[in-house]
Every structure is written in structure tokens, then in C-alpha cells.
């Protein structure tokens, strides 16, 4: 897929100043857990983007790029997804929102 856009899911967390979100834990522990859980299903890369700490609204955007559209369904439907989701309270009380991106 060198010329095509990889199927992508963005996972976002939105909150207010003072909402708990441990960026260090997220980057050092949660993202490697996600990669380990879903690599076998076609997750090719994962990256986190953070707005300034003083920003109100989006706390983080996580970009998950997959091999193909079927890989997204397989990964999110896998038994390992329970481990990924049960780790969320370790770094935040905010609920994740998933956005699947479709090229125009």
C-alpha cells in the first residue's frame, strides 16, 4: 500500500483541565500493549499526538494504521481487545472514542 492510505482508526480521549490522563503510562505501557495485542491481526503502526497540556477538549489522538480494512475488524473483535480495554482505567477515567477514517 505504498501509494494508498492505510486503513486507519483514530482513538481519541476528550476532557477538561484537571481530568486524569497519564501521558507517560499511555505512551510507555498502553501503546505497547495495543501493538502487542493487535500486531498479529494486522496493526502496522501506532502513534499518539498530544495537544498542549493547557488545551481543553481533546486530550490525545492515537493513530492506529492497519494492513487492510479486514484487519481492523479482526483486531477489535479479538479476545485481546478485553486486555486493551481493561488497561484504560490505569491511565484515565475518560472514555475512548473510535473514529474509522475512510479516504475521500
CATH architecture of the region 8-92 = 2-Layer Sandwich (3.30)
For residue 10, pLDDT over 90 is answered with yes
Does the structure show a pLDDT above 50 at 93?
yes
Average pLDDT, the chain: 91
Instruction: Please tell me whether the overall predicted TM-score, pTM, comes out greater than 0.85 for this model.
Output: yes
φ/ψ of 52, rounded to 5, equals -55, 150
What are the φ/ψ torsions at residue 2 (nearest 5 degrees)? -65, -35
Mean pLDDT of 55-80: 93
| Orientation of helix 80-87 relative to helix 31-38, angle to 10° | 170
Task: Compute the distance between CA of residue 104 and CA of residue 89 in angstroms, rounded to an integer.
Answer: 35
The model's confidence at residue 1, banded by pLDDT at 50, 70 and 90, is very low
Q: What is the pLDDT of residue 5?
A: 76
Q: Does 60 have pLDDT greater than 80?
A: yes
Amino acid at each position: 500500500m505504498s501509494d494508498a492510505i492505510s486503513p486507519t482508526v483514530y482513538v481519541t480521549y476528550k476532557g477538561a483541565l484537571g481530568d486524569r490522563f497519564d501521558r507517560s503510562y499511555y505512551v510507555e505501557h498502553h501503546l505497547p500493549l495495543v501493538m502487542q495485542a493487535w500486531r498479529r491481526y494486522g496493526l502496522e503502526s501506532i502513534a499518539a499526538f498530544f495537544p498542549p497540556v493547557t488545551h481543553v477538549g481533546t486530550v490525545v489522538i492515537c493513530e492506529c494504521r492497519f494492513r487492510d480494512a479486514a484487519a481492523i475488524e479482526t483486531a477489535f473483535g479479538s479476545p485481546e481487545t478485553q486486555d486493551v480495554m481493561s488497561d484504560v482505567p490505569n491511565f484515565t477515567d475518560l472514555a475512548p472514542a473510535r473514529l474509522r477514517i475512510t479516504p475521500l
